Amino acid sequence: MLYDLRTYRCRPGTVSAQLAAYAREGFAAQSRHLGDPLFYGTVETGDVNAYVHLWQFQDAADRERRRAALYTDEQWLAYRRLSAEAAFQTEQTNMLLKPAFFWKAGS
């Protein structure tokens, strides 16, 4: 398994507006190609102007294939344009994670 943990930082006070736009315009398209995220949420302590999401893939090739398909989806591209125009997001980081050899999902 390969996990993609993404953190987005927003201008103060805009996380809710960013997530509302995503829920309305982007979530269906992204889920159509990537499947449902394992987690999608806001930061409760620390950088409260951030939100995170976690996706699961079989491996790097699966991730690459799904993301390539996502970026051919006009609904997703329209959401990306809308998001860029709103300019709520200020920073993005992502980490690709592999499970430790002893960790079993769901245990």
Question: Which of 43, 42, 44, 48 has the alpha carbon at shortest distance from 12?
Answer: 48
CATH code for the structural domain at 2-97: 3.30.70.100
Has residue 14 got a pLDDT over 90? Answer: yes
Between 16 and 103, residue with greater pLDDT: 16
Q: What is the pLDDT of residue 106?
A: 59
Q: What is the pLDDT of residue 104?
A: 82
Percent of the chain with pLDDT over 70: 97
Identity of residue 65: R
Q: What is the pLDDT of residue 55?
A: 97
Residues 6+ apart with CB under 8 A from 32: 73
The 10 Å Cβ neighbour count of residue 68 is 10
Alpha helix segments (H runs only) across the chain: 15-25, 27-34, 60-70, 74-86
* Per-domain residue ranges of the chain: 2-97
- What is the rounded average pLDDT of the residues 47-64? 97
Has residue 22 got a pLDDT over 70? Answer: yes
At 71-95, the pLDDT tens digits run: 999 999 999 999 999 999 999 999 9
